[in-house]
Amino acid sequence: MPHSAITWTTHTWLKNTLIRFEDSTMSISHTLPQLTLWKDNDVFLIERFIKAKQFSSSQMTILNEIRMYLKVSTLSDITTSDGTRFLTWALRAEPHHSCSSQRYKWPATATLSRKHKELWRSALRMAFARQTVNLIDLTLVTNVWLSIAQPFLKWWYSRLTQSLYMSKLQMVGKNGKKTPHKVEDQDKQILVLSQPQHSYLHSKKHGHR
């Protein structure tokens, strides 16, 4: 999509520059991080809102502001580990830890109004849900994590050590990396690294899915 067609983003010198470049043969190379999908079958929220074709430019502006306020970019950021339901904090439009919130540096944003939160819930229902606001359309369910997400996940299971680990965000080592903390609760849903490239949702009761 050309930058000139994206009417809901903040008008800055950078956006204006990119629009000007559309009419020329010049291009810009950069080393800024690209937005990442965290699971197989994952989707970007804004792209899905656009595809729904239900929102005006002013509504898209608000939805993008809410997305930045929550510090999320993908469906996997706001759904349960098995990808079937929205997380409660996401429906309430309350900021919380997610892969994207930890991966990127986010701009400061204003607090949300009640109407903004109502629009957000309505948009989630239109773009992703089936029957009720909390159930994800089966064609959009994502339950296979990509390895790039592992540093930002709260739980994971190591087959090498046969141990369940919980990431403690407040524990930071000398090298600046999070220090894993071992826990013994084997009945919790956990992430099993079955291949170097992927990790799968697993629980003692239900097994892989």
Cα 49 to Cα 85, 98, 115, 119, 176: the distances in Å are 18, 20, 18, 12, 36
pLDDT category of residue 130 using cuts at 50, 70 and 90: confident
pLDDT category of residue 157 using cuts at 50, 70 and 90: low
At residue 11, the pLDDT reads 61
Rounded to the nearest 5 degrees, what angle is found at the Cα of 104, between the Cα atoms of 103 and 106?
Answer: 140
* Residue 96 CB contacts under 8 Å (≥ 6 apart), including other chains: 70, 87, 89, 90
At residue 204, the pLDDT reads 39
At residue 9, the pLDDT reads 60
At residue 58, the pLDDT reads 92
Cα 117 to Cα 9, 71, 111, 172: the distances in Å are 19, 15, 10, 34
pLDDT category of residue 127 using cuts at 50, 70 and 90: very high
pLDDT category of residue 151 using cuts at 50, 70 and 90: confident
Mean pLDDT of 19-34: 71
At residue 24, the pLDDT reads 72
* 35-94 pLDDT per residue, tens: 899 999 999 999 999 999 999 989 999 999 999 999 999 999 999 988 999 999 999 999
